[in-house]
Amino acid sequence: MLSGKRVLLVIGGGIAAYKSIELIRLLNKAGASVTCVLTAAAEHFVTPLTVSAIAGTKVYRNIFDLTDEAEMGHIQLSRAADLVVVAPATADLMAKMAGGHADDLATTLLMATDKRVLIAPAMNVRMWTHPATQRNLATLAADGILTVGPDDGDMACGEYGPGRMAEPAAIRDAVTAALTAGPLAGRHVLVTSGPTHEPIDPVRYIANRSSGAQGTALARALAALGASVTFITGPAAAKRPEGVRVVEVETARQMLDAVTAALPADAAVFAAAVADWRMASERPSKMKKTADGALPVLEFAENPDILATVSKLTEGRPRLVVGFAAETDDVTAHATAKRARKGCDWILANDVRPETGIMGGTENAVTLITAEGAETWPRMAKDMVARRLAQRIAEELA
């Protein structure tokens, strides 16, 4: 998978540095050779001896330790790799990278490299959400720096939230995506995700329980296979995927406009849980309770059918159109009928009764319905569903 590839791994000074040991092992197992640079702070969490033993290569720690520094060894070190990875990328390291600092070996080689750079941020949730860190992240993204993570989770400080470094396997996958073209290279795939919010008045809206987790996972999986992904999302709770074009919308009509603007595409996957109805006329001010207790009357209008609209295009229709069917009874039968009615190629049906825990949860159990019939997949993490579907899409478009 990564045979012959050379990775320069910069290990920053955070508790997540312990994960770098597993990352080295996974990269080596995939066939990559890994050269490591430790910051001074990193040595408080992992030892040079341990890193060197796992990597099987010399570990670099200080710019003045390079025996060939008279020949600009830090330049050679920074350019001998196919990819530079920073894991963990602490708030301090990100700030130095964004500001162009070069006051130690790690930051000097990051300034000197002519290769792509991938960072895996790791820090306290407050540090991650701090405006300064988010400004630095935006600067790095504008500079072409790739990012994987961070994840939500428990932290060493006892807090919970975004800031936990991505797991080593996810970083390895991001490295693979950065170093290999992938079966979807050159393909444009459109993905919709999340719920839509249909305003009732300025403070209320119609919505559903979709978290956007499945659509987000699918966008990541498609990008990992080399696709250029346009990710159109309603106001979902899920963190937006990195490395894709993100378009934020609120209502079904806005989502349809964004989908139309994003075409043409080789494939389109409609994972969004779009509201079927909207208010026939949005109230201009907040509705109030009346003194006599009379209940308000809400008049609804049907929203545009985005899946059917794209499926039935006569010009510019994606080669593969995939829909989702969230059902609460007769799942396969209803989804099969929906595929025929909408005119799409595939439908992924799932049972979203509250007791399944699927809508808004971390797992999914789907049945893939095609013209050939129904194929039931076992219940698995949404990331795994996404990878499996992305691979099927790649095979279909091959």
Annotated binding site: 276, 286, 304-307, 324, 338, 342
**What's the CA gap between 125 and 130, in Å, rounded?**
8
Q: Is 243 left (phi over 0), alpha (psi -120 to 50) or beta?
A: left
Q: Tell me how far apart the alpha carbons of residues 139 and 169 are, in angstroms, rounded to a whole number.
A: 26
| Residue 122 CA, distance from chain mean position | 16
Q: Other CB atoms closer than 10 Å to residue 142's CB: what's the count?
A: 9
* SS3 state at 302: strand
Instruction: Please name every residue paired with 230 in a beta bridge, in sequence order, or none if there are none.
Output: 190, 245
Annotated binding site for CTP: 276, 286, 304-307, 324, 338, 342
Structure tokens at 125: 């949730």
**CA 388 to the chain's CA centroid:** 15
285 exposed, middle or buried (CB, 10 Å; 0-12, 13-18, 19+)?
A: exposed
Residues forming beta bridges with residue 199, ordered by sequence position = 205
How many beta carbons lie within 10 A of that of residue 314, not counting itself? 5
Catalytic residues: 157
User: Of 68, 18, 29, 26, nearest to 38 (Cα)?
Assistant: 18
CA distance 84 to 58: 16
Quote the CA–CA distance of 82 and 267 in Å, as a whole number: 31
Strand 146-147 and strand 116-121: the pairing is parallel
CA distances (Å), origin 192, targets 78, 246, 322, 369, 375: 39, 10, 11, 19, 23
DSSP 8-state symbol, 56: T
